[in-house]
Amino acid sequence: MGDLHAGHAALMERARAECDTVVVSIFVNPIQFDRRDDYEAYAIDLEKDVDFCATLGVDFVFAPSAQEMYPEPPSTFVEVAGFSAHLCGKFRPGHFRGVTTVVAKLFNIIAPDKAYFGEKDAQQLAVVERMVADLNMPVEIIAVPTVREPDGLALSSRNKRLTPQERAIAPALYGALEIGADCIRQGCTSATQVRRAALAHLRRHPELRVEYLEVVDASSMTPVETIGGPVCIATAAWLGAVRLIDNVLIDNIGT
């Protein structure tokens, strides 16, 4: 969706290392926004983004207009059941349907052999992987680790909308996830206890209004109560007018 930063650069560098031809799509997809103000805040500087891609050795940028992508109001949707009940799917109605639909379109237009997605959007990654498997799409999905600021804040285009005061508080979100992850690494198998520890940390920053903080199965992204395999702790919180999301994966339980 443009407004490119070092998180996107990690995707491009990985693709550049693994592929003959690298295509970057830049498209602020109207049908995945549940709130109009959020969509309108995505005013991207395409020229700047294209320059950014060029410095990373990208071969093509695909940057269609909304009119080109949706010449008529879209009537066909790709939907993965079970992803609207939890996490972002619960709080952003229609969001993942918009994501899977536009990703299906982009795959059909570009026909990539591999497609690179960031782990920061963990539920998006899971829903795309499920779509690709269920619909036999001829593309390999590559997950790229989240890139963070030195203080732990996950990179996001939305970070620049934070005030300096909010920016100083924002790393607490990742801090809370790490506290939860430490609980699990130390042997805690109760999701309730993990959540309690993480949320206690967040309560020190009442400016962070938590939308959800859940311990979920790492592949299905559905909440678990007893932790017995790879899990993700995923959270979303509001800071002023900005919604931030983050997650950590804990996949080496008991090792």
Total chain residues near its own copies (CB under 8 A)? 24
In this chain, which of 24, 115, 131, 173 binds its own copies, going by CB under 8 A? 131
Radius of gyration of the chain from its Cα atoms, rounded to whole angstroms = 18
Q: How far is the CB of 197 from its own copies (least distance, A)?
A: 32
The residues near 212 (Cβ < 8 Å, ≥ 6 apart) are 86, 87, 90, 91, 234, 235, 236
Burial class (CB in 10 A: 0-12, 13-18, 19+), 71: exposed
**Residue 186 in the binding site for its own copies (CB under 8 A):** no
Residue with tokens 């909308």: 161
Nearer to its own copies by C-beta: 100 or 235? 100
**Nearer residue to its own copies within complex by CB, 43 or 81:** 81
Least Å distance between CB 106 and its own copies? 8
Neighbours of 139 (CB within 10 A): 15
In this chain, which stretch among 126-134, 162-170, 187-195, 228-236 interacts with its own copies, using CB under 8 A?
Answer: 126-134
Task: Provide the minimum distance between the beta carbon of 147 and its own copies in the complex, in angstroms, as a whole number.
Answer: 29
Active-site residue (options: 8, 86, 95, 205):
8
Q: Is 135 in the site for its own copies (CB under 8 A)?
A: yes
Question: DSSP state, 147?
Answer: P
Site string for its own copies, 92-121 (x = CB under 8 A): --------xx--xx--xx-x----------
**Which one-letter amino acid corresponds to residue 226?**
T
Closer residue to its own copies (CB): 17 or 81: 81
Give Cβ neighbours of residue 185 (< 8 Å, ≥ 6 apart).
250, 253
When the beta carbons of 109 and 200 are compared against its own copies, the nearer one is 109
Footprint on residues 59-88 left by its own copies (CB under 8 A): 72, 74-82
Active site residue 8: yes
Spatial neighbors of 186 by CB under 8 A, at least 6 apart, are none
In whole angstroms, how close is the CB of 31 to its own copies at the nearest point? 11
Answer yes or no: are the C-beta atoms of 215 and 224 closer than 8 Å: yes
Question: Are 144 and 116 in contact, with CB atoms under 8 Å apart?
Answer: yes
In whole angstroms, how close is the CB of 137 to its own copies at the nearest point? Answer: 5
First to last CA, the chain: 38
Of 15, 137, 144, 215, the residue at the interface with its own copies (CB under 8 A) is 137
Contact 205, 212 (CB under 8 A): no
Helical (H) or strand (E) element with 175:
helix 172-185
Which residues are designated catalytic? 8
Positions that interact with its own copies (CB under 8 A): 72, 74-82, 100-101, 104-105, 108-109, 111, 130-131, 134-138
